[in-house]
Amino acid sequence: MKKHYIVLGLFCLLAIVACSDNDPVVEVNNDNPTEELPPLPTEVITGSRAMWVSYDPISASDSNNSSGISSALISWRLLKTDPSNIAFDIYKSVDGEAEVKLNEEPISNTTSWVDADIDVSKTNVYRVTLANQTETLCDYTFTSEMAEKFYHEIRLNLNVPDASITYSPDDIQLGDLDGDGELEIVVKREPYDGANMGVWFNGTTLLEAYKMDGTFLWQIDLGINIRSGSHYTSYILYDFDGDGLCEIAFRSSEGTKFADGKIITDANGKINDYRNRQTDGKGWYSGAAIARDPNDPSTATTCGLIMEGPEYISICRGYDGREITRIDNIPRGGEGSKVSRAKYWSEYWGDDFGNRMDRFFIGVAYLDGIPDEATGVRTTNPSLIISRGIYKNWQVWALDLKGNELVPRWKFDTADHASKWKGMCSHCFRVADLDGDGKDEILYGSAAIDDDGSELWCNGNGHGDILHVGKFIKDRSGLQIVASFEEAKDYEGQGNGYACQVINARDGSMITGHGRNLPVDASDVGRCIVADVDPDSPDFEYWSSTQEGMFSCNGTGLVSTTYPTGIGSGVMYNVAIYWSGQSTREMLDRGCIVSYKANPDVNKSNKNRLIAFDLYGSNQGNHASKYNPCYYGDFLGDYREEVILGSSDYKSIYIFSTNHPTTHRLPHLMTDHNYDMSQAMQNMGYNQGTNLGYYVGAETLKKSETEEPKE
């Protein structure tokens, strides 16, 4: 190994660079990423009904794990702009024969139809109109071939950089990339699973886009200088400039290859390999490192980590994966020798061995005004939010995409604030209008940054793994936060006093909590969940891995000492999902959906476990013990949430959509701003659940059943 001194002209940095002897040399083609890009589509279709047919061909095969529902469910979107008295008719044509109207009365309580008489050996064409009208609102052709699987399969692209590596489907985000009104899928493919802390082996991280029909659109290769893993490869897919087409933003470096083949190089057209090659690679200043196996100090190393070289934020067109522009990432800081830089990192970020310094999140927030609550229409463009650091100092920057440039709006650095602000972040940030002024805030764990980049509040509870924001108490104004925390010295010492709390989003104060004076080895509470699961208890329930009970968010205390339990009878507290047609929400963990109360709609003996997707050939989820689905959220059919998992052979993604009947309807969940932010950023860092910003619980859904449609 030899060492070069090179000037990275673009960044005015003098960097000491470790290069391998066989650096690939590529064309100098990175100087002007904004050179003429081909035109984008200008016709953008909105208002899709996302009609879908879900049918389980093995519904009765397994009393625990199959769905237990033999009918087909045909469903479509309710739009936010639909009048409250909207009603529908549905027609079916079988194998091209004359169309038959299926409903007798207009369909006014749901946006779905249960077809118990479906003949899946034939082609069934369903067509929906407004009640008593002829014009087609949406239609869907369901073939006998589609009826062979409960899921919709998309096979992953086989053209990968290293055929010997399994690039397993990891986090997925959805967005309209081409303006045709249908959401496309962007999947991150990881060269191996669970790259959370330690060394990085071989392979690079890929971002790939697909259409719902399986058409492969493009691939971006993050390259050798972007460490693989949940904490390092956050990306965000969102329409930042309001043209109706999504952009994608992520961290990039030398070696990042965009979909048109352009590669980021140094000023000499070279891709340097910045991966640390020191086999004993400890921190350069402290001599410390983190062990992949906490019980085996010999596994401590920084070999393979990237602590030098340029870091950028690239933003690309979702349409074709071409780079629009890039900007320098929040810098590592420090200067001079390795040791003096590492000393700075240790003092500023909290370590010098690439753990605390290398925590990167990226997301989106409407800092000038959230979309109109009544129509869902946006009047301002959102900002790109990037961050670095969790455990000691941390920074959050807001950037605006203007004229194909990323323009800094504000920068928040805890070094400029009281020491209480340090170490406050969760393994993600969340975005919501915390103070109800119509603009988004950044909830950075136990601290909140106002829309203008100033302090909103810091409650001192410290770091935690789980962060939910939504409307969990029906008659209380504003939003609530449910979170659990890791360090008793923080949550008891300077915070609100409990390991798991329901928090007033407006000011960070506690509404209620549990988990006090926990034994030391139980004081790190790694999981908590909030959902309406008990229709007989007002407001949402919340519980945590303290297993002290299920409590009401409204502070009235214990609801139950039993929990929804999943695979291996484990208590469920991963994420909540709208899957059944009941007025409550279910739990999703390990690719298994569980209802707290017995579900009357399933024709099987186990009426709590609604489905286990691995019966159908999926895996149980990503990220080791977290078992995160690639994605879940409402993007097809009615308001119930779809689940995307990788196949058991990691070569496909499987999209599951509910087949449960319902008596309820809700507008497309993504048209609720709080839900939209939660779904769009669900897989930042440690994946988090989705939550609505208005109250939906058994109280409201049961009430709507008995209400007459309003004029």
- Which residues lie across from 583 on neighbouring strands? none
Q: Classify residue 677 by burial, with Cβ atoms within 10 Å: 0-12, 13-18, 19+.
A: buried
CB closer to Ca ion out of 23 and 180 = 180
- Nearest distance from residue 77's CB to Ca ion, in Å? 8
CB closer to Ca ion out of 441 and 589 = 441
- Nearest distance from residue 142's CB to Ca ion, in Å? 16
- Distance between CA 575 and CA 588 in Å, rounded? 5
Cβ burial 144-160 (10 Å sphere, 16+ → b, else e): eebbebbbbebebbeeb
CB closer to Ca ion out of 545 and 679 = 679
- Nearest distance from residue 439's CB to Ca ion, in Å? 4
- Nearest distance from residue 276's CB to Ca ion, in Å? 37
- 3-class secondary structure, 236: strand
- Which residues lie across from 155 on neighbouring strands? 652
What are the residues whose beta carbons fall under 8 Å from the beta carbon of 419, sequence distance 6 or more? none
- Nearest distance from residue 53's CB to Ca ion, in Å? 12
Cβ distance 242 to 248 under 8 Å? Answer: no
What are the residues whose beta carbons fall under 8 Å from the beta carbon of 97, sequence distance 6 or more? none
Closest CA to 176 of 114, 225, 248: 248
What are the residues whose beta carbons fall under 8 Å from the beta carbon of 187, sequence distance 6 or more? 156, 169, 170, 171, 172, 207, 208, 209, 210, 630, 653
CB closer to Ca ion out of 437 and 507 = 437
- Nearest distance from residue 617's CB to Ca ion, in Å? 21
- Which residues lie across from 218 on neighbouring strands? 209
* C-beta atoms surrounding 244 within 10 Å: 17
- HSE (CB half, 13 Å, CA atoms) of 507? 4
- Nearest distance from residue 407's CB to Ca ion, in Å? 16
CB closer to Ca ion out of 439 and 664 = 439
Rounded to 10 degrees, what is the CA torsion of 498, 686, 691, 444?
60
CB closer to Ca ion out of 244 and 526 = 244
CB closer to Ca ion out of 210 and 573 = 210
CB closer to Ca ion out of 405 and 548 = 405
Cβ distance 649 to 398 under 8 Å? Answer: no
Cβ distance 474 to 697 under 8 Å? Answer: yes
CB closer to Ca ion out of 270 and 322 = 322
User: Which residues of this protein are in contact with Ca ion, per CB under 5 A?
Assistant: 176, 178, 180, 182, 184, 239, 241, 243, 245, 433, 435, 437, 439, 441, 634, 636-637, 640
CA distances from 113 to 79, 107, 562, 630 (A): 17, 8, 34, 28
What are the residues whose beta carbons fall under 8 Å from the beta carbon of 605, sequence distance 6 or more? 63
| CA angle centred on 233, ends 455 and 289, rounded to 5° | 85
- Nearest distance from residue 197's CB to Ca ion, in Å? 34
- Distance between CA 352 and CA 360 in Å, rounded? 16
- Nearest distance from residue 678's CB to Ca ion, in Å? 15
> How would DSSP label each residue in 127-151?
EEEETT--SEEEEEEE-TTGGG-SS
CB closer to Ca ion out of 304 and 667 = 667
- Distance between CA 577 and CA 593 in Å, rounded? 8
DSSP letter, residue 456: E
CB closer to Ca ion out of 441 and 490 = 441
Q: Classify residue 84 by burial, with Cβ atoms within 10 Å: 0-12, 13-18, 19+.
A: exposed
- Nearest distance from residue 146's CB to Ca ion, in Å? 17
- Nearest distance from residue 279's CB to Ca ion, in Å? 45
- Distance between CA 239 and CA 40 in Å, rounded? 13
CB closer to Ca ion out of 78 and 571 = 78
- Nearest distance from residue 71's CB to Ca ion, in Å? 17
- HSE (CB half, 13 Å, CA atoms) of 100? 10
- Nearest distance from residue 364's CB to Ca ion, in Å? 12
Cα 13 vs. chain centroid, distance in angstroms? Answer: 34
User: Per this entry, what is the length of the chain?
Assistant: 711
- Nearest distance from residue 623's CB to Ca ion, in Å? 24
CB closer to Ca ion out of 300 and 365 = 365
- Nearest distance from residue 669's CB to Ca ion, in Å? 8
Residue where the block lists tokens 């479906």: 118
CB closer to Ca ion out of 564 and 637 = 637
- Nearest distance from residue 48's CB to Ca ion, in Å? 9
CB closer to Ca ion out of 322 and 640 = 640
Rounded to 10 degrees, what is the CA torsion of 197, 198, 199, 202?
-60
CB closer to Ca ion out of 26 and 245 = 245
Residue where the block lists tokens 């699973």: 193
- Distance between CA 623 and CA 694 in Å, rounded? 30
- Nearest distance from residue 368's CB to Ca ion, in Å? 11
CB closer to Ca ion out of 435 and 539 = 435
- Does an H or E element contain 631, and which? strand 631-633
DSSP letter, residue 13: E
